[in-house]
């Protein structure tokens, strides 16, 4: 069965690390690759009633311009031996991507390194899409080089539900990887509530055709796992990190846990995350 990927294209013409990662992933997995560009109408546009018609005209023109990119998208995919559609949506980016995610195996999004497009505590477009989507999301830092993607995958395993969902979402990439390293940061009390059918993560991966090496985070690294994971990724040339995106607050799951927040803010390595 052919996998289906959706990449969010935030600016036109299509460009950037997120696009490069989506193309690399689609090529590696032999997947279809659809793109979605969202033309939004900011709420501020309605603050001056007299300006609303002009704002609506601008939105219509932006939509027309965006749809005109379909031919360029088809040519780009054809040059890579790929297939997929160009989609244009009107409305709220998070709502549209979260709704569309149900029809895909993975969603790819680029995250701005300047924080303009995504709040560091989890209230930005990328963070909210991760929490709202029903699929894993490949979060690609704007500064990521994406020379390779999925050659050496680092799995940040905590035994949590979110961690299990991320691993499950990443299985197609893990099966294609040359090397998979599991960094086990789970604690004893997590074992009884492990979301996977086998509490031995490497045993579970093995049954799904993935050979992995595992190492435990030491006590010092467990106290600050975000920096430790990024250091390991750099030291071992991992080109993809798989991890669960954990919401610390049950009242508002938009608040990222400390490890996720650190990596969203500091990582230059693409991350496949799930919530």
Q: What are the domain boundaries of the chain?
A: 4-141, 152-274
Q: Which tens digit of pLDDT belongs to each residue from 190-202?
A: 444 555 655 678 8
* Residue found by looking up tokens 């699929």 in the block: 135
Contact between 22 and 149 under an 8 Å Cβ cutoff? The reply is no
pLDDT surpassing 90 at residue 178: yes
Q: What is the pLDDT of residues 217-254, one digit of tens each?
A: 877 676 678 888 999 999 999 999 999 876 544 433 34
Residue 199, pLDDT score: 61
CB-based burial label for 43 (10 Å; 0-12, 13-18, 19+)? exposed
* Helix 258-266 with 225-235: angle, nearest 10 deg: 40
Give the Cα separation of 157 and 60 in Å (integer).
46
Residue 47 in this model has a pLDDT that exceeds 90: no
pLDDT tops 60 at residue 24:
yes
Q: Does the fold of domain 152-274 match that of domain 4-141? A: yes
For domain 152-274, the question of CATH label 3.40.50.720 is answered with no
Cα angle 240, 115, 110 (rounded to 5 degrees) comes to 40
By CB atoms closer than 10 A (0-12, 13-18, 19+), residue 41 is middle
At 253 the pLDDT is 39
Show the tokens assigned to 11: 């600016």
CA distance 250 to 211: 35
CA-CA-CA-CA torsion sign (177, 274, 39, 140): negative
Query: Which CATH number applies to 4-141: 3.40.640.10, 3.40.50.620, 3.40.50.2300, 3.40.50.10490?
Result: 3.40.50.620
pLDDT of residue 56: 78
In angstroms, the CA 112 to CA 18 distance is 10
Other CB atoms within 10 A of residue 236 CB? 11
């Amino acid at each position: 069965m052919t996998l289906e990927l959706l990449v969010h294209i935030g600016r036109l013409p299509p460009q950037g690390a997120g696009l490069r990662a989506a193309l690399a992933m689609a090529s590696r997995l032999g997947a279809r690759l659809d793109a979605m560009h969202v033309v939004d109408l900011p709420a501020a546009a309605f603050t001056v009633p007299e300006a609303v018609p002009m704002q609506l005209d601008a939105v219509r023109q932006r939509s027309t311009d965006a749809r005109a990119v379909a031919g360029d998208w088809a040519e780009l995919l054809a040059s890579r031996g790929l297939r997929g559609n160009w989609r244009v949506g009107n409305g709220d980016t998070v709502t549209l991507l979260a709704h569309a995610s149900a029809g895909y195996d993975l969603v790819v999004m680029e995250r701005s390194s300047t924080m303009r497009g995504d709040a560091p505590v989890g209230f930005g477009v990328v963070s909210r899409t991760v929490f709202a989507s029903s699929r894993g999301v490949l979060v690609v830092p704007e500064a990521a080089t994406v020379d390779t993607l999925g050659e050496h995958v680092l799995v940040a395993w905590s035994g949590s539900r979110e961690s299990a969902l991320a691993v499950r979402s990443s299985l197609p990439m893990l099966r294609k990887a040359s090397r998979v390293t599991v960094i086990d940061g789970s604690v004893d009390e997590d074992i009884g509530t492990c979301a996977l059918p086998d509490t031995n993560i490497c045993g579970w991966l093995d049954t799904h055709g993935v050979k992995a090496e595992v190492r435990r985070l030491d006590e010092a690294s467990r106290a600050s796992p975000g920096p430790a994971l990024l250091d390991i990724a750099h030291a071992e040339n991992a080109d993809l990190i798989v991890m669960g995106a954990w919401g610390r607050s049950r009242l508002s799951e938009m608040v990222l846990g400390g490890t996720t927040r650190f990596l969203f803010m500091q990582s230059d390595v693409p991350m496949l995350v799930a919530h």
